Structure 1
Amino acid sequence: MSEMTSNAAPQEAQAVSSMTMIQALRSGLDVMMAKDDNVIVYGEDVGYFGGVFRVTEGLQKKYGKTRCFDAPISEAGIVGTAIGMAAYGLRPAVEIQFADYVYPAYDQIVSELARLRHRSAGDFFAPITIRMPCGGGIYGGQTHSQSPEAVFTHVSGLRTVMPSNPIDAKGMLIASMECDDPVIFLEPKRLYNGPFDGHHDRPVQPWNKHELGKVPEGYYTVPLDKAAIFRPGKAVTVLAYGTMVWVAECAARETGIDAEVIDLRSLWPLDLDTIVESVKKTGRCVVVHEATRTSGFGAELVALVQEHCFYHLEAPIERVTGWDTPYPHAQEWAYFPGPARVGAALQRAVEA
């Protein structure tokens, strides 16, 4: 994981603290609110209450009710007002309480937000960051557990990112808030409080025990278009993001297969160079994501690997995903790709 750490290094030497992903995200918001008066933070319950996951806790007290405030229960209203604010010079970082709630705002995101810069020939742009907790693992059922990344990566004009650890979470959030393009910032709930080993509904250890929980306290950025080699290897390439990075690493460790796990981090724009270099080296590829299989983002990854690495492939590309069903509350741990399912795919790839 040394390459990931170096990719996330701060621009200047500074103090480092142990942080959960929640604390790292809060630190990123704090850094940008202090740095730029045009940064405002709002959404449902993000002000006085500090957000349902407490990411924004303390920001209203520190910066006041005009910089961090609560919004009505209207996702279309949250995004719509943010577009207007951004067009007039502000840099909103808004929270959709759960990614499942974003659909009422989807028309605003697709028809207005993503197109504003292009349809105005650059006269207006939309530097908006939309934060959304995503994925399952908290027994939240169908309306608190979805992974909707594919409906955003399909839309031209949007950036879509999903960090897997606190260092990347803070650095990518700062980079998102400084970006002049709109960014869909997806936060895996299962990683909020610690690394996930793929087997349990709780972190395997607190983030402060892990190197990726050692987060620089001040300003730094992590690129929005660069993947990281989470685990180097030579036998097979695994493409994953968010929680599935940790599941893939666990599967490689438990099977003993020398898998190279690529943490995509940025889904769009995608770091195709890192993917192609790895697959050409290993000759095999396994794609892992939590969302449903059909038309999931993994299908795009498979197509790209096929197009760019066909003559280097020594086995069919494997996909390990969630089921093609509505989210199964009572069976969510069977629905998730776990180390056993990922490990079986690794075995098939290396034995083909």
Structure 2
Amino acid sequence: MTQAFNHRIAASLELRKQQGLQRKIVSIEKGNTSSLVRNNKEYINFSSNDYLGLAADKKLAKAWQKGIDLYGNGSGASPLVTGFSSAHQALEDRLCDWLGYSRAILFSSGFSANQAMLFSLLEKQDLLLQDKLNHASLIEAGMLCPATMKRFHHNDVNHLSMLISGDELANSLPDGAMSRLVVTEGVFSMDGDLAPLADIAEVTQQRAWLAVDDAHGIGVLGNEGQGSCHLAGIKPQLLVVTFGKAFGLSGAAIMCDEMTGEYLTQFARHHVYSTAMPPSQAYALTQAVNMVATEQWRRDKLAELYHCYDQQLNSVSGYQYTPTPIKPFVVGEAEQAVQLAECLKQKGWWLTAIRPPTVSKGKARLRVTLTANHTKSQVSKLACELRSLIEG
């Protein structure tokens, strides 16, 4: 019987290799800075999600060190046992004050927050409507949860409205017997584009709850970095914010009202049965929120870098405009993307080739990400290298 697993695993690995889609874990140093080191060679890092440059910030590091002095190393238990401390409460309070919600339920990762949200809230008779390009954590949870899932075309509000209006099952049930949940990202991680949140909110009003995963928008967009929803002028019933991108740390929170927060506290298994994030980390995250909210210069720096990048590459085949730090450079075939990334690495530039199944076939790309730690000179030189390699 054990041979069945071995055969299946070997066949899957061989197929992935033949398709040119095999991935490898690479050990690097200083991957949380604008210059990383691999095998004693230094590269300019354009593959980090550390948009505001906080991942190696000394002030934030000192906050975490102080948190360890105050609270020790780990939390020691799940939140409902002894794992929830005054540091966690302070983080929840700060997030609620900043983003205008009553509760912030904390998780160890954005992946677990997204899965907890869908697994906890949805039941068999419910309808889940997701943007086709939502993150794998959301799509997987939608496939595994008991609700019926349908996917609307990317950023297509008309298609979403049609799916809601054409929901014959909901129309045949007594009022309140079925719940609809619409889920979208605020900023899409592979394309860097924004969801039309104001239009989606209008379509869902009185017809469905709206959940927004703002992993790549929080900290970067909106007043004080309050994110995609603030920029669009909406307040969804559920807002997922993650701390592994612009906050420079890790973890996540689901922002919601008081009753939903209590429900998640009771029924979200990823929250109830997981060891709470270390209180020292929660202490540091409160400092990160304060830095994100008050240090506008970081977002201003990003805006300068966007302009520099766009100016130099907007006429080059593969360039895609985005209003975010995520700048996809679409190449086409997976092998071409890998070759281009390798050529750039040989010249000292670290960019990651993104291939299927992460993106659609024929849409392989370099995922260029800008951070507040980059300089205009670095962005300009990268643009020149890209232009030279593409145009020959």
Q: TM-score, normalised by structure 1?
A: 0.31
Q: TM-score, normalised by structure 2?
A: 0.29
Which structure shows the higher helix fraction? 2
Q: Which structure is richer in relative contact order (CA contacts within 8 A, separation 6 or more)?
A: 2
Greater Rg, structure 1 or structure 2? 2
